[in-house]
C-alpha cells in the first residue's frame, strides 16, 4: 500500500470531507490523526473522533483520535505532541476544518465572524505552524488546505463578504507557504470542489435534500487529495486546485460515480467560474 507508515494530520476528520480523505489514505496503509472536536455524536451531523477511528482502522490504517478545537493553540500543540509520541513523524497536513456563514455584513453576527476567522484563518495557520518542524523531517511532505481559487469578481464578495474573506485567507496562506517552504521541500496546495459536496453540513445547514441531490460525494475530494499526496513535494506546490482538474490529470475523466444522484443535475460550488 502506497502510504504504509506515512502519517497524516487531518483537522475535522470525524465526518464529511475530512473523514473521506482519511479513509482513502487509510486504505493505502496510512496513519491518520483525527484532530476534531466531536467526542459525542450530534444527531444532525453524525460521527465522532472515535467512530471515525474505527472506520479508519477497518479501512486498513492506524488511527489516533485526538479531541482538538483548533481555536485553541494549546490543544493544537498537544495534538501534535501526541502524534509524534504515537507515530514519530508527520508527512502530511490536511487543513479541512472550516466554519461557514453565507450572510451579508449586517446579517453576520460578531460571534459568527469571529468563528470563521478563528477556525478558517487562525486555526489553519496555527495547525500548519506547529506541524512544519515535523514536516521538514519527511521525505515527501505536503500541506493541503480545503480552500478555493481566488477571484476578485465582486459577485463572490457582495453576498457573504465575511465568509469569502475567511476562505480566501486560507488560499493566500497556501500561496505564502509554497514560497516560504520551497527550500525545505514542503509542498503547499489548496483543493476545492467544482460542485457542492453532499455532506451533513450541506443537508442540515445549507440546502437540505434539494442541494444534497445536486451534489457529489466527498469521495471525489478524497481521490483528488490522494493524487496530490502521491506527487513530488519539491515541485508539485503552490496550486489552488479544483477537484476535476486534479482527477483529469490522474486520468479519471468519468466522474459520474461521484454523483449523489446518478445522472442528476449538479450544483456548481461557490467561487467556481462556470
| Each residue's pLDDT tens digit, 234-272 | 999 999 999 999 999 999 999 999 999 999 999 999 999
Domain span at residue 173? 7-258
Q: What is the pLDDT of residue 45?
A: 80
Q: Is residue 174 part of a domain?
A: yes
Residues 154-193 pLDDT 10s = 999 999 999 999 999 999 999 999 999 999 999 999 999 9
Whether 248 is in a domain gets the answer yes
Dump pLDDT digits (tens) for 84-122.
Answer: 999 999 999 999 999 999 999 999 999 999 999 999 999
Condensed to tens digits (0 to 9), the pLDDT of residues 178-189 reads 999 999 999 999
**Helices (H) then strands (E): counts for the chain:** 10, 7
Number of domains composing the chain: 1
CATH number at residue 75: 3.40.50.720
- Residue 6's pLDDT band (cuts 50, 70, 90): very high
How far is C-alpha 254 from the chain's CA centre?
A: 23
Reported pTM: 0.97
Asked whether residue 193 is domain-assigned, the answer is: yes
Kindly state whether residue 271 falls inside one of the protein's structural domains: no
In a domain, 169, yes or no: yes
3-state class percentages of the chain: helix first, strand second, coil last, to nearest 5: 45, 15, 40
Which one from 50, 163, 168, 236 is the annotated catalytic residue?
163
Cβ partners under 8 Å of residue 42, min gap 6: none
50 tagged catalytic:
no
**Mean of pLDDT values over 209-220:** 96
Amino acid at each position: 500500500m502506497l502510504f504504509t507508515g506515512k502519517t497524516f494530520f487531518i483537522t475535522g476528520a470525524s465526518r464529511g470531507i475530512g473523514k473521506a480523505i482519511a479513509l482513502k489514505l487509510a486504505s493505502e496503509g496510512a496513519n491518520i490523526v483525527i484532530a476534531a472536536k466531536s467526542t459525542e455524536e450530534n444527531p444532525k451531523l453524525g460521527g465522532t473522533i472515535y467512530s471515525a477511528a474505527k472506520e479508519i482502522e477497518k479501512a486498513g490504517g492506524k488511527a489516533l483520535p485526538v479531541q482538538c478545537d483548533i481555536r485553541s493553540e494549546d490543544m493544537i500543540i498537544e495534538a501534535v505532541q501526541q502524534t509524534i509520541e504515537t507515530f514519530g513523524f508527520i508527512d502530511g497536513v490536511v487543513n479541512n476544518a472550516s466554519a461557514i456563514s453565507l450572510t451579508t455584513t449586517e446579517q453576520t453576527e460578531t460571534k459568527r465572524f469571529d468563528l470563521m476567522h478563528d477556525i478558517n484563518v487562525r486555526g489553519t495557520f496555527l495547525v500548519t505552524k506547529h506541524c512544519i518542524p515535523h514536516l521538514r523531517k519527511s521525505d515527501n511532505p505536503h500541506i493541503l488546505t480545503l480552500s478555493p481559487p481566488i477571484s476578485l469578481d465582486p459577485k463572490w464578495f457582495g453576498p457573504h463578504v465575511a465568509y469569502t474573506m475567511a476562505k480566501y485567507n486560507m488560499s493566500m496562506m497556501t500561496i505564502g507557504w509554497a514560497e516560504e517552504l520551497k527550500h525545505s521541500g514542503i509542498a503547499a496546495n489548496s483543493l476545492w470542489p467544482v460542485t457542492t459536496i453532499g455532506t451533513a453540513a450541506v443537508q442540515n445547514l445549507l440546502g437540505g435534500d434539494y442541494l444534497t441531490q445536486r451534489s457529489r460525494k466527498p469521495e471525489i475530494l478524497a481521490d483528488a487529495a490522494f493524487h496530490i499526496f502521491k506527487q513530488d513535494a519539491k515541485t508539485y506546490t503552490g496550486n489552488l486546485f479544483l477537484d476535476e482538474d486534479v482527477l483529469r490529470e490522474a486520468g479519471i475523466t468519468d466522474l459520474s460515480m461521484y454523483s449523489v444522484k446518478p445522472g442528476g443535475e449538479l450544483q456548481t460550488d461557490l467561487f467556481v467560474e462556470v
